[in-house]
Structure 1
């Protein structure tokens, strides 16, 4: 049943979220306090959550997406405060975000097409390769990281199987790429350009997933 027509514009909260995301990239070049960094980084996902609520009117889909974004915001704040000491709480927050996305994607999955099956197989192969690269450096975090990888790959597979929403699948792949850069930078070898690349692919992931469900005409 149709809930509402597509909004005429993206809206101020969505645009403001993108502006803050761009500002966050510039913060290392500015003499700002850590509090300012935490606030800017932590505000992006809540603004995106507010955007999807405005677009869809607070339906079931908006609630799942909003929950995932709020868990993501918690992870952003943990990493902004102390990316070393608070890495595990951040990992747990993003895990919950992926599980919220997974629950939504599974609800709206369809029988994959041959092309989707190919993408799914490639994604699974990528996960195996990544784990083989990461495993030697994981140490005591081996089980948590394996569990996290299982969750995000499951989310990616489910996203690729969502019917008629290619942006959702693209967003999930961008999320996996962002997390892969984090893992390689932390557990394999530091990457000079990792910070901006991680943030850009992460924000792109959240935005693409939201835009994939922007139209409230889809069934909730």
Structure 2
């Protein structure tokens, strides 16, 4: 049964990515809310002991997907759209759920130097992204900054728990999540590019899939 869920997820993902590339807005809005429930079904059916918080993270992704796919949610305006704020909140909560899963699953962390170097690299990445986007954030400054901190924290624990547990896909998933949200942030704050939706969703789906696979 889990193979059927995986096939359905991959088919839905391919259709959604095609719709994103071809700018078929209606089809994109129909397929996007189906993605995380199908991935969640695959995870529950394939994991020996599914983590409730991992399932909650995917459900938060579903809520964020629905919020951001609604008309006007990703448009830049003087005051952030309530759907954009709801989407950011849902994804931030999902990242917190992932953090809890990653921390709880580690019995022995990597060396101190490994963790310090990883933290330093992510701090530099935070500075780079923040300085680039700060002039354009406006009213999104507090929320966007807090979200970036949560996102990078999730990526840190994904990478470190992946190293500790021999699950390199987890760290890769965290990095793809950063890339996806960075592209989305540039799209919202600096203006949409032609292939933005395709770039955001391809990296986002890669991120979620890698995180799920690392937990099996």
**TM-score under structure 2 length normalisation:** 0.85
Query: 1:198 is matched with which residue: 196, 200, 206?
Result: 200
**In 2, distance between residues paired with 1:72 and 1:52?**
14
Alignment partner, residue 179 of structure 1: 181
Equivalent-residue separation in structure 1 for 2:87 and 2:126 (angstroms): 21
> Match for residue 78 of structure 2?
none
Alpha-carbon contact 1:67-1:97 (below 8 Å) kept:
yes
**How far apart are 1:53 and its partner, in Å?**
0.8
**How far apart, CA to CA, are the structure 1 residues paired with 2:137 and 2:23?**
34
1:120/1:160 contact within 8 Å kept: no
Name which of 75, 87, 95 aligns with 2:92. 95
CA deviation after TM superposition for structure 1 residue 213, in Å: 1.2
Q: TM-score, normalised by structure 1?
A: 0.84
Task: Give yes or no for the alignment of 1:62 onto 2:60.
Answer: no
2:61 maps to which residue? Answer: 72
Determine which structure has the larger helix proportion and give its number.
2
CA contact (8 A) 2:21 2:198 kept: no
* Structure 2, unaligned runs of 5 or more: 75-80
Is contact 2:8-2:38 (8 Å) kept?
yes
Which residue in 1 is equivalent to 2:29?
38
Q: Kindly tell me the number of residue pairs found equivalent between the two proteins.
A: 203
Determine if contact 1:52/1:62 at 8 Å carries over to the other structure: no
Distance 1:200 1:116, change over 3 A: farther
Residue number among 105, 112, 119 corresponding to 2:110 in the alignment: 112
Verify the 8 A CA contact 1:112 1:161 in the aligned structure 2. yes
Gaps of 5+ in 1: 1-8, 215-220
Comparing both chains, which one has the higher relative contact order based on Cα–Cα distances under 8 Å and sequence gaps of 6 or more? 1
Change in 2 beyond 3 A, CA 1:202/1:108 = same
